[in-house]
Chains A and B, each alone.
Chain A
Amino acid sequence: MIAFSKFELENGLRVIHHEDKSTPMVALNVLYNVGSKDESPEKTGFAHLFEHLMFGGSVNVPDFDGPIQTAGGENNAFTNNDITNFYDLLPAENIETAFWLESDRMLGLNFDEKVLDVQRKVVLEEFKETCLNQPYGDAWHHISDLAYKVHPYRWPTIGKVPKHVEDATIEDVKTFFYNYYRPNNAILVVCGNIDAQKTKDLSQKWFGDIPSGSIPARNIPPEPAQKKLQQRINQAKVPNDALYLAFHSPSRTHPDFYPTDLLSDILCNGSSSRLYRRLLKQRQLFTQIDCYLTGSVDPGLFIIEGHPAKGVSQEEAEKAIWQELEEIKRDAVPERELQKIKNRIESTLVFSEMNVLNKAINLAFFELLGDADYINQEVDLYKAVTTTDLQRIANEILTPENCSELYYQAQAN
Chain B
Amino acid sequence: MMLDRTKAPVIRMPEDVQLPKYQKHLLDNGIPVYEVHLGTQEVVKLELVFNAGRPFEHKQLVARATTSLLREGTATHSGSEIAELFDFYGCSLSLPFNLDTANVVVYSLSRYLDQVLPILQDILENPSFSTAELKSFVHRKQQLLKEDLTKNEVVAYRTITDLIFGSKHPYGYNSVEETYAALQREDLQKHFDRTYTIDNCIIFLSGKTSPAHIQSLNKYIGRLSRTGGKVSTSFPTLPTVTEAHFLERPETIQTALRMGRKLFNRQHEDYCGMYVLNALLGGYFGSRLMANIREDKGYTYHIFSQLDVMKFDGYLYIGTEVGNEFVAATRDEIYKELALLRDKAVSEQELEMVKNYLIGTYLTMIDGPFQASELIKTIVLEDLSEDFFSKLVQTTRNITAKQLQDLANKYLQEGDIWQVSVGAPMKN
Interface residues of A (CB under 8 A from B): 20, 22-25, 59-61, 65-67, 69-74, 89-91, 93-94, 96-97, 99-100, 103-104, 107, 117-126, 128-130, 132-135, 205-206, 209, 237-240, 270-273, 277, 281-282, 284, 287-288, 307, 309-310, 336, 339-340, 343-348, 350-351, 353-355
Chain B nearest CB from A74 CB (Å) reads 7
Interface residue SS majority, chain B: mixed
28 contacts between A and B (CB under 8 A): A25-B364, A59-B5, A65-B285, A70-B352, A74-B284, A91-B14, A121-B298, A122-B294, A132-B254, A206-B3, A238-B150, A240-B147, A270-B92, A272-B80, A272-B83, A272-B86, A287-B143, A307-B143, A307-B147, A344-B87, A344-B90, A347-B90, A347-B91, A347-B92, A350-B42, A350-B43, A354-B40, A355-B368
| Contact among A65, A69, A125, A287 for B139, CB-based, below 8 A | A287
Given contacts A72-B357, A344-B87, 17 further A-B contacts (CB under 8 A): A25-B363, A25-B364, A61-B8, A89-B360, A93-B13, A93-B14, A104-B5, A125-B323, A133-B252, A239-B149, A240-B143, A277-B80, A282-B80, A347-B90, A347-B91, A354-B39, A354-B43
Interface residue SS majority, chain A: helix
B236 in the interface, Cβ–Cβ < 8 Å? Answer: no
Cβ-defined contact, A118 with B298, below 8 A: yes
A163-B386 Cα distance, complex, nearest whole Å = 56
Cβ-defined contact, A97 with B9, below 8 A: yes
Number of A-B contacts (CB under 8 A): 210
Residue of B at shortest CB range from A133?
A: B254
A239-B145 Cα distance, complex, nearest whole Å = 10
CB neighbors of A among B47-89 (8 A): 71, 79-80, 83-84, 86-89
State whether A118 and B41 are in contact (beta carbons under 8 Å apart), knowing that A128-B254, A133-B254, A340-B88 are contacts in the complex: no
Cβ-defined contact, A100 with B5, below 8 A: yes
Query: Which of B144, B356, B360, B361 has the most CB atoms of chain A within a 10 A radius of its CB?
Result: B360
B11 in the interface, Cβ–Cβ < 8 Å? Answer: yes
Chain A nearest CB from B67 CB (Å) reads 15
A379-B109 Cα distance, complex, nearest whole Å = 15
State whether A70 and B357 are in contact (beta carbons under 8 Å apart), knowing that A118-B298, A205-B3, A281-B80 are contacts in the complex: yes
Cβ-defined contact, B301 with A122, below 8 A: yes
A383-B316 Cα distance, complex, nearest whole Å = 49
Residue of B at shortest CB range from A123?
A: B301
Interface residues of B (CB under 8 A from A): 3, 5-6, 8-9, 11-14, 39-43, 71, 79-80, 83-84, 86-92, 107-109, 136, 139-140, 143-144, 146-147, 149-152, 251-254, 284-286, 294-302, 321-323, 352-354, 356-357, 359-361, 363-364, 367-368, 370
Residue of A at shortest CB range from B110?
A: A350
A178-B221 Cα distance, complex, nearest whole Å = 62
Cβ-defined contact, A97 with B11, below 8 A: yes
A351-B357 Cα distance, complex, nearest whole Å = 27
